[in-house]
Structure 1
Amino acid sequence: MMNDFNSSISNSVSSTPNAKWASIGSIFREEGHIYSLAAAGNMLYTGSECNSVRVWKNMKAFSGFKSTSGMVKAIVLLNGKIFTGHQDGKIRVWTLFDDKPTRLGYLPKTKHLLLKSLSPKSYVKVKRNRNVPWIKHYDAVSCMSVDEYHGLLYSGSWDKTLKIWRISDSKCLESVAAHDDAVNSVMAAPGEMVFTGSADGTLKAWRREFVGRRTEHFLEGVLMNQEHAVTAVAGVGGGGAVYAGSSDGLVRFWEVGKRMVACGGVLRGHKVAVLCLVAVGRLVMSGSADKSICVWRRGSGGVHECVAVLRGHGGPVKCLAAEEEGRRRWIVYSGSLDKSVKVWRVSE
Structure 2
Amino acid sequence: MMNGGRGGIGSRMADEEEIGTKFVDTGNHMPRSKFGNMMHSDPNLSATAAPIPRDEVFGYRNSSASLTGPASFDPNRMSCEGSPMTMSPWNQTGGGSNFPWSFEENLPQNGLIGSLVREEGHIYSLAATKDLLYTGSDSKNIRVWKNLKEFSGFKSSSGLVKAIIIAGEKIFTGHQDGKIRVWKVIPKNPKIHKRSGTLPTLKEILKSSIRPSAYVQVRNRSALWIKHCDAISCLTLSEDKTLLYSASWDRTFKVWRISDSRCLESINAHDDAVNSVVASLEGLVFTGSADGTVKVWKREQQGKTTKHSPVQTLLKQESAVTSLAVNTSGSVVYCGSSDGMVNYWECEKQLSHGGALKGHKLAVLCLAAAGNLVFSGSADKTICVWRRDGKLHACISVLTGHTGPVKCLAVEVDHEKSKDGDQRWVVSSGSLDKSVKVWSVAEMAPDMYQMAMMQQQQQYQQHIGSDGDSLPSDGSSRADKNRGK
Give the 3 Å change call, closer, same or farther, for CA 15–181 of structure 1 in structure 2. Answer: same
SS in structure 2 of the partner of residue 104 of structure 1: strand
Number of the residue aligned with 1:251: 342
Partners of 2:430 and 2:314 lie apart in 1 by 28
Where in structure 2 are the equivalents of 1:220-239 lying within 5 Å?
A: 220-239=311-330
Q: Is contact 1:202-1:224 (8 Å) kept?
A: yes
Aligned mates of 1:152, 1:220 — CA distance in 2: 20
Cα distance change of structure 1 residues 82 and 150 upon mapping to structure 2, 3 Å threshold: closer
In structure 2, what residue type is equivalent to 1:242?
A: V
Q: Tell whether 2:394 aligns with 1:305.
A: yes
TM-score by length of 1: 0.94
- CA deviation vs aligned residue, 1:303-333 (integer Å, no higher than 9, x gap): 0001100000000000000011134211000
Q: Indicate if the aligned counterparts of 2:321 and 2:337 stay in contact, CA closer than 8 A.
A: yes
**Inter-CA distance 150–82: structure 2 relative to 1 (3 Å threshold):** closer
The CA deviation at 1:51 is 2.1
Deviation at 1:86, TM superposition (A): 0.2
Quote the Cα distance in structure 2 between the aligned partners of 1:10 and 1:125: 54
Q: Deviations over 1:192-236 (max 9, x none)?
A: 100000011001111110112321111111100100000000011
Q: Does residue 90 of structure 2 align to residue 11 of structure 1?
A: yes
After superposition, residues 107-146 of structure 1 pair within 5 angstroms as 107-128=199-220, 130-146=221-237
What amino acid does structure 1 have at the position aligned with 2:214?
S
RMSD: 1.5
Determine if the alignment matches structure 1 residue 269 to structure 2 residue 348: no
**Matched ranges for 1:200-215 at <5 A:** 200-215=291-306
- 3-state DSSP of counterpart to 1:116: helix
- Give the secondary structure class of the aligned counterpart of 1:298: strand
State the percentage of identical aligned residues.
57
What is the match of residue 56 of structure 1? 145
Higher relative contact order (CA 8 A, sep 6+): 2
1:25 aligns with 2:114: yes
Conserved? CA contact 1:10–1:311, under 8 Å: no
| CA–CA separation in structure 1 for the residues paired with 2:296 and 2:406 | 26
User: Among 318, 330, 333, which residue is 2:425 paired with?
Assistant: 330
For 1:135-214, list aligned pairs within 5 A. 135-149=226-240, 151-214=242-305
1:279-308 residue CA offsets vs partner (Å, 9 max, x unmatched): 0000001000000000000012x1000110
Q: CA deviation at 1:12?
A: 5.4
Partners in 1 of 2:238 and 2:287 — Cα distance?
14
Residue 69 of structure 1 contacts residue 90 of structure 1 at CA under 8 Å; is this kept in 2? no
Partners of 2:91 and 2:400 within 8 A in 1: no
Aligned positions, number: 337
Question: Following TM superposition, by how much is the alpha carbon of 1:121 offset from its aligned partner in structure 2, in angstroms?
Answer: 0.5
Distance in 1, Cα, partners of 2:241 & 2:142: 27
Alignment pair present for 1:71 and 2:160: yes
Check whether the contact 1:319–1:336 (CA below 8 A) recurs between aligned residues: yes
Residues 251-289 of structure 1: CA deviation (Å, up to 9, x unaligned): 00000235x211110100001100000000000010000
Distance 2:433 2:108 in 1: 26
Contact 2:319 2:338 in 1 (8 A): yes
Structure 1 unpaired stretches of 5+: 1-8
Structure 2 CA distance for aligned equivalents of residues 191 and 65 of structure 1: 36
Aligned counterpart in structure 2 of residue 103 of structure 1, from 176, 195, 199: 195
Q: Choose from 294, 297, 300 the match for 2:384.
A: 294
- 1:69 deviates by 2.1
Inter-CA distance 257–39: structure 2 relative to 1 (3 Å threshold) = same
Rg: which structure is higher? Answer: 2
- Tell me, in whole angstroms, the C-alpha distance in 2 between the residues paired with 1:10 and 1:284: 21
Q: Distance in 1 between matches of 2:165 and 2:185?
A: 14
Provide the rounded CA distance (Å) in 2 between the counterparts of 1:290 and 1:272: 5
CA drift at 1:148? 4.3
TM superposition shift of 1:238? 1.4
Q: Between Structure 1 and Structure 2, which shows a larger proportion of helix residues?
A: 2
Q: Is the 8 A contact 1:276 1:318 kept in 2?
A: yes
Q: Give the gaps of 5 or more residues in structure 2.
A: 1-87, 98-106, 444-485
* Higher alpha-carbon deviation: 267-276 or 50-59: 50-59
Q: C-alpha displacement at 1:150, in angstroms?
A: 5.3
Whether contact under 8 Å (1:230, 1:247) holds in the other structure is yes
Tell me which residue corresponds to 1:46.
Answer: 135
